[in-house]
Amino acid sequence: MPNLNDMPIFELIYVIVNYGLGSKVLRKAKQHGVFDGTVFQGRGTVSSGLAKFLSLYDERKEIVLFGTDRKTAEHALVELNKEFQFEKPHHGIVFTISACSIIGTETYKCEKSEEGRGENKSMYQIIMAIVNRGMAEEVIEAAEAAGSKGGTIMNARGAGVRETKKVFNIEIEPEKEMVMILSKKDITEKIVSSIREKLEIDKPGNGIIFVQDVNKTYGIYE
C-alpha cells in the first residue's frame, strides 16, 4: 500500500448548481478530461437580500464533486465556466481545493509534479460543519451573525461510536447535516468561533468543523 505522503497532490472541484443540472455538469466535465464525479443534493440558504454573494437563489441545489490533477482541473474550470457562465447571477459557483491523494479509482492517474504551487492568492476558505439533523439552520444563523452570506446544506449519515442508539434493540444511526460555507479568509475565524459557541461543538456528539483553503473560484461576486 502506498504511503499517502508519497502520493501526488490533486484538485477537488466543487460545482454548485440549480437542481437538475448536475448530470449536465458531469457530461461537460468528462469532455474535458475529468471522468470521476459524484452528485449530491442540497439546498441553498441565502436569503434574497444576501443572494448576490453565492448566486444561490433557488433552494434545491446539486453539488458535483470531482477529483483530478491540477492541470486538468484548471482547463476544466475554464471550459465549465464558458458553458455554464458562473459569473452571471443564479448560474451557480465553482471552486477548487487541494487534496493529498485519491484512492478507490483507476481513472485518475498522474505523476508528481516538480513545479511548485506558488503562493495561494485566493481570498476564500471553505468551512464545513457536520452536525446533527435539524441543527443546520442554527449553523447558518451563527455564521451569518459573524458575517457569512449564507451556505449550502447537504444531508449525511453518521456512523461514529457515539452516534448509534438502540430502539427496541435495533441499532440506528441518526442522520446528519453538512453545511458548506464559502468565507472570506479575514472573517473565517470569526464565523467558526460563532458556530462553535452556538452549537457547543466541543461537547462530544455535537458535530465537527473543518476549514480548507480555496484555490480558484468562479461565480462569486459581491
> What's the predicted TM-score (pTM) here?
0.68
Residue type, 144: E
Does the structure show a pLDDT above 70 at 157? no
Q: What pairs with residue 13 in β-bridges?
A: 66, 96
Domains and CATH numbers, the chain: 4-120 (3.30.70.120), 124-213 (3.30.70.120)
Alpha-carbon distance 74 to 86, whole Å?
15
pLDDT at 67: 83
Q: What whole-number distance in Å separates Cα of residue 30 and Cα of residue 204?
A: 41
Q: What is the DSSP letter of 165?
A: E
Among the residue ranges 20-24, 65-69, 135-139, 187-191, the one predicted with the least confidence is 65-69
Q: What is the mean pLDDT of the chain?
A: 77
